[in-house]
């Protein structure tokens, strides 16, 4: 079949990437969607079971930091679009091992842009390199104010410094080579398929297993939460309608202090599991703070709303209920992730076929 477009999605086996891959595979049967992912601990092909045999989907295991491999792939596939999500994404891991973040998030991003430049010499109108970034590049807010697209960068963790650096490289390529790139910076995502090292899935897992819920510091840290499918829709909108060279902030207008979020989550978990109200809250345990913990993130998503017509579709209570129900109905997924057995899925599905 001849495809209208060939889109490379990096990190498509991860949390957000798998929702983006599914959305694109199902919405655009005339596009080839090529998922390139190294299947680190965060990459899980079980996330994509429902679309893995679709005619317009391909998967290849590979590392974005491998310049030769990436260059060969671009020459072979002649992609005309890239949605780049592959990254090391967990702040706590970046505090333990910054080098992995520098390697993947900075070097990997530059490798991909170099490979795209090799085959996109004339920068036709439909060619675009869409770099997915985070609101953490802007640093930490006080009690008031919002991050806009022009807020100065002030990253505070090794993770956010690596993402900020990759954003700077993308902008430098736009400026120097007129490289056809777009950036978006999004707030905290939640929803199905998130690896249970991040706050919401970790706490759901711990409540199910009657383990303590480790709230960092006093719990008065604020995040702006967005349902992952709303982020995937925003990515679709920006990829197709965003202006090359521009940046778009994406957020939920949905600020929660961690401790309030955890209490709401506990209430929903008790209701959904038929437990007496207050059972899950007993597991809340205040623990030593994250070093350099950013106080507050909050996004002004006015530009994407005004210029591209995107806004979140769910309120937080609805999204959190959907999320809790998904985890309760997909206990096997959570078991496979926490036992590590999801890592054999690739061998079973892809290597043992030949
Ligand atoms: P994730 O950790 O769930 O998934 C990352 C994916 O990238 C995994 O599938 C992993 O295998 C793959 N990967 C990692 N290193 C790779 C490499 N060297 N080569 C190829 N593949 C590699 O991450 P996520 O939460 O889905 O985040 C996706 C992107 O969105 C990241 O760029 C992140 O910075 C950004 N982001 C995340 C959030 C959030 O709340 N999760 C918010 C804003 C932006
Ligand atoms: O803002 C976007 C960012 O959101 C993304 O770029 C990152 O990839 C993503 O991991 C996320 O970063 P956070 O550090 O905000 O997410 P995390 O789920 O790790 O933590 C959310 C808040 O909860 C934060 O204030 C730390 C706190 N926390 C987290 C964990 C894992 C706890 O109190 N206890 C915990 O056990």
pLDDT, tens only, 173-222: 999 999 999 999 999 999 999 999 999 999 999 999 999 999 999 999 99
Nearest ligand to residue 10 Cα: 1
* Site residues for ligand 2, CB cut-off 6 Å: 89-91, 134-136, 187-188, 198-199, 202, 214-216, 221, 223, 258, 290, 297
Gap from CA of 264 to ligand 2 centroid (Å): 17
Mean pLDDT of the chain: 96
The set of catalytic residues is 135-136, 159
Q: Where exactly are the structural domains of the chain?
A: 5-188+227-252+298-315+341-351
Q: Is the CB of 230 under 6 A from ligand 1?
A: no
pLDDT, tens only, 267-313: 999 999 999 999 999 999 999 999 999 999 999 999 999 999 999 99
Closest to 82 measured CA to CA, from 55, 114, 56: 114
What ligand 1 atom has the least distance to the C-alpha of 37?
A: 21
What ligand 1 atom has the least distance to the C-alpha of 39?
A: 11
More confident site: 344 or 29: 29
Q: Supply 174's token pair.
A: 């736009």
Q: Supply 154's token pair.
A: 């002030």
- Main-chain dihedrals φ then ψ at residue 12, nearest 5 degrees: -70, -10
Q: Whose CA is nearest to atom 13 of ligand 1?
A: 86
DSSP state of 46: G
The pTM (predicted TM-score) of the whole model is 0.98
Gap from CA of 15 to ligand 1 centroid (Å): 7
DSSP state of 352: T
Region 5-188+227-252+298-315+341-351: CATH code: 3.40.50.720
pLDDT, tens only, 57-109: 999 999 999 999 999 999 999 999 999 999 999 999 999 999 999 999 999 99
pLDDT at 295: 97
The yes-or-no verdict on residue 28 having pLDDT over 90 is: yes
């Amino acid at each position: 079949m001849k495809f209208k477009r060939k889109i490379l999605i990096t990190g498509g086996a991860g949390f957000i990437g798998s929702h983006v891959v599914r959305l694109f595979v199902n919405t655009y049967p005339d596009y080839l969607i090529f998922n390139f992912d190294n299947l680190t601990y965060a990459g899980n092909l079980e996330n994509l079971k429902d679309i893995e045999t679709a005619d317009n989907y391909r998967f290849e295991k590979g590392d974005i930091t491998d310049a030769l491999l990436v260059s060969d792939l671009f020459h072979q596939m002649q992609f005309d679009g890239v949605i780049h999500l592959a990254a090391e994404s967990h702040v706590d891991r970046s505090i333990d091992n910054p080098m992995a973040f520098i390697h993947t998030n900075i070097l990997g991003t530059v490798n991909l842009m170099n490979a795209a430049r090799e085959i996109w010499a004339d920068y036709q109108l439909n060619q675009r390199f869409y770099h997915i970034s985070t609101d953490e590049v802007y640093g930490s807010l006080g009690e008031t104010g919002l991050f806009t697209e022009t807020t100065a960068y002030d990253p505070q963790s090794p993770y956010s410094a690596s993402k900020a650096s990759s954003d700077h490289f993308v902008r430098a390529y736009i400026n120097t080579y007129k490289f056809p790139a777009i950036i978006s910076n999004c707030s905290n995502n939640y929803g199905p398929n998130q690896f249970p090292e991040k706050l919401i899935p970790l706490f759901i897992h711990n409540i199910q297993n009657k383990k303590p819920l480790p709230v960092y510091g006093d719990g008065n840290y604020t995040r702006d939460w967005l349902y992952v499918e709303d982020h995937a829709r925003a990515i679709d909108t920006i990829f197709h309608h965003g202006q090359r060279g521009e940046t778009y902030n994406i957020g939920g207008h949905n600020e929660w202090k961690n401790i309030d979020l955890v209490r709401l989550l506990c209430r929903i978990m008790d209701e959904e599991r038929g437990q007496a109200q207050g059972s899950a809250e007993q597991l809340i345990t205040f623990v030593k703070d994250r070093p350099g913990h950013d106080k507050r993130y909050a996004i002004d998503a006015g530009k994407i709303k005004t210029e591209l017509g995107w806004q979140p579709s769910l309120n937080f209570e609805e999204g959190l209920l959907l999320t809790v129900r998904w985890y309760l109905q997909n206990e096997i997924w959570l078991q496979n992730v926490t036992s590590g057995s999801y890592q054999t899925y690739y061998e079973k599905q892809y290597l043992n076929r030949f």
